[in-house]
A and B are shown apart, each in its own frame.
Chain A
Amino acid sequence: MAENPYRPLKAELLEVIQETPTIKTFVIRPERPIPFAAGQFVQLTVPGIGEAPFTPSSSPSVAEELGISVLRTGRVTDSLHELEPGVTLGVRGPFGKGYPTEKLEGKTVLVVGGGVGLAPLRSLLHHLFENINSYEHVAVRYGARDPSELLYRREFEAWGEKDRVSFDVTVDVPDESWDGKVGVVTTLLEELGLDVENTYVVSCGPLIMLRFVTLACLNLGFRPEQIYLSLNRKMSCGLGKCGRCNIGPYYLCKDGPDMCYEKIKDYKDVFSA
Chain B
Amino acid sequence: MAEPKFLAENMLGSFLACLETARKFANALIDGTALWKSVDDVAVEQIAGGLRSARPLNSFKSVLLPARELVARYGEGEQKDPLQEAADSTVALVGVRGCGCRALAYLDAVMLNEPPESFYRVRRENTIVISVDCAEAAPTCFCDLLGGNAYPEELFDVNLSPVESGYVAAAGSKKGSELLEKNQRLFSEATPAHLEQMRQMRQETAEQLRQQNREYTFPEDFQEDLPQSVEGMFWRYELSGCVQCGGCTAVCPTCYCFLLYDGERAPGAYERVRAWDSCQFSGYAVMAGPPGATKPDPRREHMSKFQHRFAHKFWYDLVNWGVLGCVGCGRCGQTCPGAIDLRRVLSEVKKERVEHG
On A, residues with C-beta under 8 Å from B are 1-8, 10, 22, 45, 47-52, 71-74, 77, 88, 90, 206-207, 232-234, 236-237, 239-244, 246-249, 266, 268-273
Contact: B72 with A4, CB < 8 Å?
yes
Known: A236-B259, A241-B111. A47 touches B75 (CB 8 A): yes
Q: Which residue of B lies closest to A70 (CB)?
A: B288
Contact: B298 with A249, CB < 8 Å?
no
Interface centre among A48, A240, A270 (most CB of B within 10 A): A48
- Rounded to whole angstroms, the CA-CA distance of A241 and B263 in the bound complex is 22
Minimum C-beta distance from A232 to chain B (A) = 8
Contact: B289 with A73, CB < 8 Å?
yes
Contact: A242 with B259, CB < 8 Å?
yes
Measured as residues with beta carbon below 8 angstroms from the partner, the interface class of chain B is 35 or more
Contact: B297 with A273, CB < 8 Å?
yes
Residues from chain B with a CB closer than 8 A to the CB of A240 are 113, 115
Contact: A4 with B296, CB < 8 Å?
no
- Rounded to whole angstroms, the CA-CA distance of A10 and B72 in the bound complex is 13
Contact: B71 with A268, CB < 8 Å?
no
Residues from chain A with a CB closer than 8 A to the CB of B147 are none
Contact: A236 with B260, CB < 8 Å?
yes
In the complex, identify which listed stretch (B22-30, B36-44, B207-215, B272-280) lies at the interface while the others stay far away: B272-280
Contact: B115 with A239, CB < 8 Å?
yes
> Could you give, for residues 293-304 of chain B, a 1 whenever the CB lies within 8 Å of some chain A CB and a 0 otherwise?
001111111001
Residues from chain B with a CB closer than 8 A to the CB of A243 are 256-258, 277, 279
- Rounded to whole angstroms, the CA-CA distance of A268 and B301 in the bound complex is 12
Please tell me which one of the listed residues B71, B258, B298 contacts residue A4 in the complex, with CB atoms under 8 A apart. B71
- Rounded to whole angstroms, the CA-CA distance of A52 and B262 in the bound complex is 11
Contact: A248 with B316, CB < 8 Å?
yes
Does B122 interact with chain A (Cβ within 8 Å)?
A: yes
Residues from chain B with a CB closer than 8 A to the CB of A268 are 230, 304
Does B165 interact with chain A (Cβ within 8 Å)?
A: no
Contact: A6 with B272, CB < 8 Å?
yes
- Rounded to whole angstroms, the CA-CA distance of A259 and B230 in the bound complex is 24
Interface centre among B113, B268, B288 (most CB of A within 10 A): B288
- Rounded to whole angstroms, the CA-CA distance of A210 and B308 in the bound complex is 22
- Rounded to whole angstroms, the CA-CA distance of A243 and B304 in the bound complex is 15
- Rounded to whole angstroms, the CA-CA distance of A3 and B261 in the bound complex is 19
- Rounded to whole angstroms, the CA-CA distance of A1 and B82 in the bound complex is 12
A-B contact list, 30 entries, CB within 8 Å: A1-B122, A2-B116, A3-B118, A4-B71, A5-B117, A6-B71, A6-B260, A47-B74, A47-B262, A48-B75, A48-B263, A48-B264, A51-B260, A52-B288, A73-B289, A73-B290, A207-B287, A232-B287, A237-B117, A239-B116, A240-B115, A241-B111, A241-B117, A243-B277, A244-B284, A249-B315, A249-B317, A268-B230, A269-B285, A269-B298
Minimum C-beta distance from B318 to chain A (A) = 9
Q: Which residue of B lies closest to A234 (CB)?
A: B287
Contact: A244 with B117, CB < 8 Å?
no
Q: Which residue of B lies closest to A272 (CB)?
A: B298
Contact: A273 with B300, CB < 8 Å?
yes
Q: Which of B37-79 contact A (CB under 8 A)?
A: 71-75
- Rounded to whole angstroms, the CA-CA distance of A4 and B118 in the bound complex is 7
Please tell me which one of the listed residues B84, B274, B299, B315 contacts residue A269 in the complex, with CB atoms under 8 A apart. B299
Minimum C-beta distance from B49 to chain A (A) = 36
Please tell me which one of the listed residues B111, B277, B312, B317 contacts residue A244 in the complex, with CB atoms under 8 A apart. B277
What are the 7 A-B residue pairs with the smallest beta carbon separation, nearest first?
A243-B257, A249-B316, A48-B264, A273-B296, A7-B72, A249-B319, A269-B298
Contact: A7 with B74, CB < 8 Å?
yes
Contact: B87 with A1, CB < 8 Å?
yes
Residues from chain B with a CB closer than 8 A to the CB of A50 are 260-262
- Rounded to whole angstroms, the CA-CA distance of A244 and B281 in the bound complex is 11
Known: A207-B287, A233-B287, A241-B111. A272 touches B316 (CB 8 A): no
Contact: B316 with A6, CB < 8 Å?
no
Known: A241-B111, A269-B299, A272-B304. A49 touches B262 (CB 8 A): yes
Residues from chain B with a CB closer than 8 A to the CB of A52 are 288
Minimum C-beta distance from A261 to chain B (A) = 15
Contact: B83 with A1, CB < 8 Å?
yes
Contact: B115 with A5, CB < 8 Å?
yes
Does B243 interact with chain A (Cβ within 8 Å)?
A: no
Q: Which residue of A lies closest to B111 (CB)?
A: A241
Does B286 interact with chain A (Cβ within 8 Å)?
A: yes
Does B270 interact with chain A (Cβ within 8 Å)?
A: yes
Q: Which residue of B lies closest to A92 (CB)?
A: B72
Minimum C-beta distance from B310 to chain A (A) = 13
- Rounded to whole angstroms, the CA-CA distance of A241 and B256 in the bound complex is 8
- Rounded to whole angstroms, the CA-CA distance of A271 and B298 in the bound complex is 7
Known contacts A6-B71, A249-B316, A273-B300; 6 additional CB pairs below 8 A are A2-B118, A47-B262, A50-B262, A73-B288, A232-B288, A241-B117
- Rounded to whole angstroms, the CA-CA distance of A79 and B338 in the bound complex is 41
Residues from chain A with a CB closer than 8 A to the CB of B227 are 266
- Rounded to whole angstroms, the CA-CA distance of A242 and B111 in the bound complex is 10
Residues from chain B with a CB closer than 8 A to the CB of A10 are 74
Known: A207-B296, A237-B258, A272-B300. A4 touches B291 (CB 8 A): no
Please tell me which one of the listed residues B122, B262, B291, B295 contacts residue A72 in the complex, with CB atoms under 8 A apart. B291
Residues from chain A with a CB closer than 8 A to the CB of B311 are 248
Known: A241-B110, A249-B319. A269 touches B270 (CB 8 A): no
Residues from chain B with a CB closer than 8 A to the CB of A236 are 259-260
- Rounded to whole angstroms, the CA-CA distance of A206 and B298 in the bound complex is 12
Residues from chain A with a CB closer than 8 A to the CB of B189 are none
